Amino acid sequence: MRRRRWHAAVAFVLLAGAGVLAASCGGSTSGAVSFPTVLTLGGRDIYPNIESTSLAVGPNRFLVGLTDNASNIISDAQMSLRFYDLTGPKPVFSAAATTELVKTDLTLEVPGGGKKPAGTDAVYVAQDVRFNKPGQWGVQIDLTRNGKKLKPIPYTFNVLERTPEPAIGAPAPASVQQVLSDVGGDAARIDSSDPPRPQMHGVTVADALKTGKPIVLAFATPGYCASRTCGPMMENVMDPLYARYKDQAIFIQIEPYDLKTLFDTGKQVPVPAFRQWNLQSEPWIFVIDRQGKVAGKFEGIATAGEVEAVLTRALGRGAPSGTATSG
C-alpha cells in the first residue's frame, strides 16, 4: 500500500494517463460538484489518498486513506462517497457508497528477532464499487469529524479496462511456487514470518486448483513488507481463517520476493508467481472458488470478516463471478 506522507503547497496538473491520481483542496458545497484540472495541495487539515493501486471496470474494493498536514493517520472521521463519470464534458453522478473504517497495528517481523511494532494505519473501505467504463472518474469525499460536517473534497482517478492482477471471475493462474518439499522442509527458506507457517507451504497453487477445494492465497512478506501490513494480515486474517476452515479450504502463503536474494543482497527480486499474478504491491489475499476462479481479492489492510464472507460463499456454492469484493 502506498500512503502520501508529505503535503507541499504546489500546483499539479492532472493527467489522463493510467494510474494518475490527485486530490483537490476545494469542493462544491451545492448539488453540483466540480473536479478542477489544476489544483493546489497545501493549507488543508485533511488530505485523502486512494490506496487501491488499480481500479477497473466492474466491482472494486475502494480504499481511501486520510492524513493531516503533519502526515498523521486520521481514523476518527465518518466518510461517505459519491462517484462521478468524468469521461464526458460534464461530471455525471454514478453511485453513492458508505465506508467502513479498518484499522491495524503495523509490525515488521524480523526472522529470529520476533515482531517489532511499526505504528498504526487505517483505511476507509467501500465495498463493491462498480465502474461501467474506463477513463477518468471522480469521487466526492464527504467527511464528518467531531460532529462537524466538513467541506466535500473532490478527488480524480483513472479507471482501467482491466486490472493488472486477475479480475473477479477470471481463472486463477496455476502457479508452481516453492513448497516445503523443495526446501528440505525448512519453511524459513520460503517464509519470512517469525515463526514461519509451514502449514501454508505444503502445496502449490497448481496442485491446489486440482482438488476442487476453495483456496485462500496470500502474497505477503512479513519480514520485508514496505507497508508493514503483511504481518498483521497474516496474523489477523489468514491465521484465524486457517484455524476455522483448514479442513474445508486450502491456505497458501507465497513470499513475493526471493528470500535467498534478499538475505544475500537486500534486493527485492519478485518470485515467478508474483510476476505471474502481475501484482503491483503487497500484501494481497485472493479467494479462489471451487471452479478455480477468483471469487474475491483484498489489497493491503483487510479484515477476517471481509475475507470470510467471500470464503463462505465459495464453500457453499462457489462464488458467482462478478459478485464478490475486489481489491
Query: What is the C-alpha separation between 188 and 15, in angstroms, rounded?
Result: 44
What three-state secondary structure class fits 253?
A: strand
Residue 6 pLDDT exceeds 60: no
pLDDT at 8: 35
pLDDT at 29: 35
pLDDT at 324: 45
pLDDT, average across residues 15-36: 46
Write the burial class of residue 111 (CB in 10 Å: 0-12 exposed, 13-18 middle, 19+ buried).
middle
Average pLDDT, the chain: 86
List the chain domain ranges: 10-159, 180-316
Residue 278 pLDDT exceeds 70: yes
Between 92 and 17, the more confident residue is 92
Cα angle 153, 155, 159 (rounded to 5 degrees) comes to: 155
pLDDT, average across residues 266-291: 96
What three-state secondary structure class fits 66?
A: strand
User: Each residue of 113-170: pLDDT tens digit?
Assistant: 677 777 889 999 999 999 999 999 999 999 999 999 999 999 999 999 999 999 999 9
17-26, 64-73, 80-89, 292-301: which range is least confident on average? 17-26
pLDDT at 116: 77
Please give the CATH superfamily to which domain 180-316 belongs: Glutaredoxin (3.40.30.10)
Say whether domain 10-159 belongs to CATH 3.40.50: no
pLDDT, average across residues 254-272: 94
Residues 71, 7: contact at Cβ < 8 Å? yes
User: Each residue of 45-89: pLDDT tens digit?
Assistant: 899 999 999 999 999 999 999 999 999 999 999 999 999 999 999
pLDDT at 323: 39
pLDDT at 106: 83
User: Each residue of 182-236: pLDDT tens digit?
Assistant: 999 999 999 999 899 999 999 999 999 999 999 999 999 998 888 889 999 999 9
- How would DSSP label each residue in 184-251? TT-GGGT--SSS--GGGSSS-HHHHHTTT--EEEEE--TTT-TTS-HHHHIIIIIHHHHHHHTTTSEE
Residue 318 pLDDT exceeds 80: no
pLDDT at 22: 42
Residue 23 pLDDT exceeds 70: no
Residue 316 CB contacts under 8 Å (≥ 6 apart), including other chains: none
Residues 296, 235: contact at Cβ < 8 Å? no
pLDDT at 120: 87
pTM to 2 decimals?
Answer: 0.85
Q: What are phi and psi of 143, to 5 degrees?
A: -125, 145
Sorting pLDDT into bands at 50, 70 and 90, what band is 33?
A: confident
